[in-house]
Amino acid sequence: MRLHEYLMGRQRRLCFPWTGAAGLSRLGYTLHDVYRDPHKHLRLAKEMDRLLQADFVYPLDYGRIYAEALGLPMLRPDHDFPSVLDHPVRDRETLAQFTVPDPAVSGPMPTYLEALHLIAESSEKPLALSISGPFTLGVLLVGAEAFARAIIKDPLFVEDVLDFTNAVVGRYATAVVAAGARFLCIGEPAAVLLSPERFRILVGERLRAIYDRFPTDVWRVLHICGNTNYLVQEMLACGAEGLSLDQVMDFPTLAPIIPSEVVLIGNLDPVQVLREFDPPAVTEHTLALLRAMRPFPNYLFSFGCDCAYDTPMENLIAAMEAARTPLSDL
């Protein structure tokens, strides 16, 4: 069953809970308490599922898991996601020093995969997961400025980097699908800086190669932050059956050009609305979005991006409660 078919015939919108690290304080865990202990990870996922009653069960994202497995130096805050401190790939020689991580043994990957397996087994809801894409990993390895220069001055080096990162992401994606992921969102935030033609060559064709490896019952989703109006046609061409887009995008204007078999996902503002407003205002904004998207059956309610770790839980609950409003009552 395709993702758009899974949404059809419902009395209300389905809800995808892109909640980030917002649940950590609920249980008194740090980020790495959860990353290191699959059973704590399971407890967190169950608690968030109980509170939000979303339509997918969602683990704690590990967007820098490739960087950790590759041994890159990292900044590891207690309650926010890790970040890379250095970009070590400066040429083909330094790239050659890295090997594609084996998810069964490399760094934090086996522990995280165990957690995914536990969460998937514990719930009848589809397990949804977001992972970083190969272009974004390439930017992490080389550095944004150096990678942008190389795209123009040394495109063969860029191809070498992306060959490597595609192998990393493809191998890991296969492992998370085997662990139970049913809804797999690949995030390519760095790709927003590319022209449509460069996106097609450097991102779209490579994403399609990864998506094509998925079993037919795994839903292929793509997320890119920022204003992606100029990239939408290329995003549609890469093989994704769901597009998750930023809060800056005007969904009611965009939705008519999205094919009916592609699901549009988003885009309640996770910062200005979910983090900064109070629950009644969150409810109001959620209902306004749902009403605007009422004509489009291929719409899945979510947020424009991951939530900040200090997003008030009562706001997340308010958004999810409002999103479960029957379509007949909107």
Cα gap 102→10, rounded to integer Å: 40
Residue 330 lies in a domain: no
Cα gap 157→138, rounded to integer Å: 11
CB 62 within 8 A of CB 108: yes
Give residue 43's domain range: 3-325
**Tokens for 184?**
């797999």
Residue 197 lies in a domain: yes
Look up the CATH number of the domain holding residue 127.
Answer: 3.20.20.210
Q: b or e along 34-68 (b: 16 or more beta carbons within 10 Å of the residue's beta carbon)?
A: bbebbebbbbbbeebbebbebbbbbbbbbbbbbbb
Predicted TM-score of the model (pTM): 0.96
How many structural domains comprise the chain? 1
CB 69 within 8 A of CB 108: yes
Over the Cα atoms of the chain, what is R_g?
19
Burial class (CB in 10 A: 0-12, 13-18, 19+), 115: buried
Q: What is the pLDDT along the chain (330 residues), one digit of tens a residue?
A: 999 999 999 999 999 988 988 999 889 999 999 999 999 999 999 999 999 999 999 999 998 999 999 999 988 888 888 889 899 999 999 999 999 999 999 999 999 999 999 999 999 999 999 999 999 999 999 999 999 999 999 999 999 999 999 999 999 999 999 999 999 999 999 999 899 999 999 999 999 999 999 999 999 999 999 999 999 999 999 999 999 999 999 999 999 999 999 999 999 999 999 999 999 999 999 999 999 999 999 999 999 999 989 999 999 999 999 999 999 999
